[in-house]
Amino acid sequence: MGKAKAEDQRKSPRFGMALPIHFNLNPDYHYVPSIKRFGVGGTLRDVSLEGIRIDSQMDLEDVCQIFSEAMEEGSPFELEVFFWDSRGRSAVLRGSVKWYEVSGPESDVRHFKAGLSVRGEESRSTARSMVESITGPAEVDPGGQRSDAQEMVSSIGPVEDGDEIVLEIAGNLTDGTPIEGEDTVTIIRKGK
């Protein structure tokens, strides 16, 4: 185990979030051990049109679920990521692991992080819905850039160095599911 991290190859901007998930090996490509029937718990940390980043605190059973003895170290693998919307409906993203890190065996819990490239039309559609719920459907161009970025920045209002601003975001997925979130931005050097 250890590290298998590729260079940053993003084609689309990522949008941060903290969405509870469960993930498992993709049964279309791998034998899936039945140690943990519902997979491993974790958090979806960001999403783009092309991929997602997840992380998890893994105990020994979790590690054995994802890194089965049949897998060779450094071999490519696929994951399924399951999450639920505010109405309790489940969704799934499937993807190829492009990079991952697993902390060493210094403790009983290991920190796992991975970047996945979404695969399949259903997963691409789900990723697009998540991004559009944040940016709005008309604001995602083929290059992944927001068309109204300057308007968004000016809507924050006057700021000074050291100001902390809470940015709130709310919207709907294309299926109408409401989502919301917030983050805090600290102004480090105004206008520089």
| Per-residue pLDDT at 45 | 92
Residue 52 in this model has a pLDDT that exceeds 90 = yes
| Per-residue pLDDT at 118 | 93
- Residue 145 CB partners (closer than 8 Å, separation 6+): 13
Q: Residue 44's beta-bridge partner residues? A: 19, 54
What is the reported pTM?
Answer: 0.62
Query: How far is Cα 81 from Cα 92, in angstroms, rounded to an integer?
Result: 5
Query: How far is Cα 60 from Cα 107, in angstroms, rounded to an integer?
Result: 10
Residue 171 amino acid letter = G
Coil/strand/helix, residue 149 = helix
| Per-residue pLDDT at 170 | 75
Query: How far is Cα 177 from Cα 162, in angstroms, rounded to an integer?
Result: 36
User: All domains of the chain, ordered by start, with CATH?
Assistant: 3-137 (2.40.10.220)
Query: How far is Cα 104 from Cα 112, in angstroms, rounded to an integer?
Result: 10
Query: How far is Cα 169 from Cα 111, in angstroms, rounded to an integer?
Result: 29
Share above pLDDT 90 across residues of the chain, in percent, rounded to a whole number = 16
Of residues 177 and 155, the one with the higher pLDDT is 177
Q: Which of 120, 131, 169 is nearest to 52 (CA)?
A: 131
Q: What is the mean pLDDT of residues 105-120?
A: 88
| Per-residue pLDDT at 42 | 92
Query: How far is Cα 136 from Cα 162, in angstroms, rounded to an integer?
Result: 30
Q: Which of 142, 127, 100 is nearest to 11 (CA)?
A: 142
Q: CA torsion sign, 109 to 115 to 91 to 70?
A: negative
